[in-house]
């Protein structure tokens, strides 16, 4: 198996390089339709971003979005590197980014974008 370093570092373990081989020691990931990531880092909106993320998590669970072929994955990220206009969110694979999220805006993003596949243009600050 290929290794990512020379094995001499005492601080970082030797990690196998991804060679495309299937291995039982790799984590599994259930398929998902969309993945929404919300920045919960300390710079752009520390007073509200974690609450917005928790609200998103609760709403997706309430709506049954964590199971089945239309599953929606969600993650919190420490920083997107933008550090302004937060809370921020990115939706993949659509590559649509939202800014200034609130619980009310999250409701629209869930209903219109994540479930109905139509980005909420009022809140989009970047898409490609």
CATH code, 62: 3.40.30.10
How many structural domains is the chain composed of? 1
Q: Is residue 24 part of a domain?
A: no
Query: Given pLDDT bands bounded at 50, 70 and 90, which one contains residue 64?
Result: very high
Answer whether residue 15 is part of any domain.
no
Tell me the pLDDT tens digit for each residue of 5-25.
Answer: 444 444 444 545 555 555 678
Q: 75 has which bridge partners?
A: 37
12 lies in some domain: no
| β partners of residue 70 | none
Phi, psi dihedral angles at 90 (to 5 degrees): -125, 135
Would residue 13 count as lying in a domain? no
Instruction: Report the pLDDT averaged over residues 46-54.
Output: 94
Residue 115: inside a domain: yes
Across 65-82, b (16+ Cβ under 10 Å) vs e yields beeeeebbbbebbeebeb
* Residue span of the structural domain in which 67 resides: 34-127
Highest mean pLDDT: which of 4-8, 41-45, 60-64?
60-64
| pTM of the predicted model as reported, rounded to 2 decimal places | 0.78
**Residue 56 near residue 36, CB atoms below 8 Å:** yes
| 3 belongs to a structural domain | no
What is the band of 3 on the pLDDT scale with cuts at 50, 70, 90?
Answer: very low
Q: What is the largest CA-CA distance in the chain?
A: 52
């Amino acid at each position: 198996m290929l290794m990512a370093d020379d094995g001499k570092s005492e601080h970082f373990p030797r990690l196998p390089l991804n060679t495309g081989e299937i291995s039982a020691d790799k984590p599994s990931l259930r398929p998902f339709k969309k993945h929404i990531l919300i920045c919960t880092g300390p710079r752009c909106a520390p007073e509200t971003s974690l609450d917005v993320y928790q609200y998103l998590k609760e709403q997706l669970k309430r709506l049954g979005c964590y199971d089945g072929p239309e599953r929606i994955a969600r993650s919190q990220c420490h920083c997107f590197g933008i550090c302004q206009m937060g809370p921020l969110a990115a939706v993949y694979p659509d590559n649509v980014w939202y800014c200034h999220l609130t619980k009310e805006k999250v409701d629209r993003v869930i209903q219109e974008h994540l479930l109905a596949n139509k980005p909420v243009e009022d809140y989009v600050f970047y898409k490609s």
